[in-house]
Chains A and B, each alone.
Chain A
Amino acid sequence: AQSVSQHNHHVILSEAASLELGCNYSYGGTVNLFWYVQYPGQHLQLLLKYFSGDPLVKGIKGFEAEFIKSKFSFNLRKPSVQWSDTAEYFCAASGTYKYIFGTGTRLKVLA
């Protein structure tokens, strides 16, 4: 069955720390991968996406993600987080089958 797993449910970091949020997927056929972000009190918005090509994808606000096909992973990274990155982050997959969201990772950045 298709699924998207985010293993870190809550992450707390200090400002300037590096971030890596895990995302693993199980999805047959061609897959498109996304990271969405939900800032406190706001709606989800796209952070970055991967459809094909360069497996290292750069998004807004200094975020990037790497698609590793052999590991079925699409981890999100940022070298130095800011207080304003405090938000909930959702990984998602789409393709032949339905659009699937992970359960989300709540990131809290301490000033």
Chain B
Amino acid sequence: NAGVTQTPKFRILKIGQSMTLQCTQDMNHNYMYWYRQDPGMGLKLIYYSVGAGITDKGEVPNGYNVSRSTTEDFPLRLELAAPSQTSVYFCASSRDPTETQYFGPGTRLLVL
């Protein structure tokens, strides 16, 4: 049982490039989340999903897109990378929206 896995662990992007952050969970959780973590700012919710085919915006969705074609996978897409998107990105999943969230190891993204 791997839990929540994320790839890549670290990436450097140039301004304007695009990339997809991958997230997979093997716990059969319906709920999945993408957060960004900036120093001193805690966790900000980017997007979340309540099940395959259903996604919704969180607090800071601008500049990002998501899809959820399967229960297991919840990729996050950055279309035109900007320096403001330099951050650490965490994916999480939960069985129920009120219960414990299980986090992946994170992706550190640097946009130059």
Contacts and interface: CB of A to CB of B under 8 A. Distances in A.
A107 to B, nearest CB: 14
A99 B101 contact: yes
A34 B104 CA distance: 18
Nearest to A34: B100
A104 B100 contact: no
The interface size bin for chain B is: 10 to 19
Nearest to B90: A43
B90 A99 contact: no
B97 interface: yes
A42 B88 CA distance: 11
Contacts of B104: 43
A99 B98 CA distance: 7
Main secondary structure of the interface of B (DSSP, over half): loop
Contacts, number: 38
The interface size bin for chain A is: 10 to 19
Contact of B90 (A32, A44, A104): A44
Given A49-B100, A99-B98, A43 B43 contact: no
A87 to B, nearest CB: 14
A42 B90 CA distance: 11
A102 interface: yes
B43 A101 contact: yes
A99 B99 CA distance: 9
B103 interface: yes
Contacts of B43: 44, 90, 101
B42 A46 contact: no
B40 A94 contact: no
Contact of A44 (B40, B45, B98, B103): B103
Interface string B26-38: 0000000100000
Interface of A: 9, 32, 34, 42-46, 49, 90, 94-95, 98-99, 101-104
10 contacts: A32-B99, A34-B100, A43-B90, A44-B43, A44-B92, A49-B100, A90-B43, A99-B101, A103-B41, A104-B40
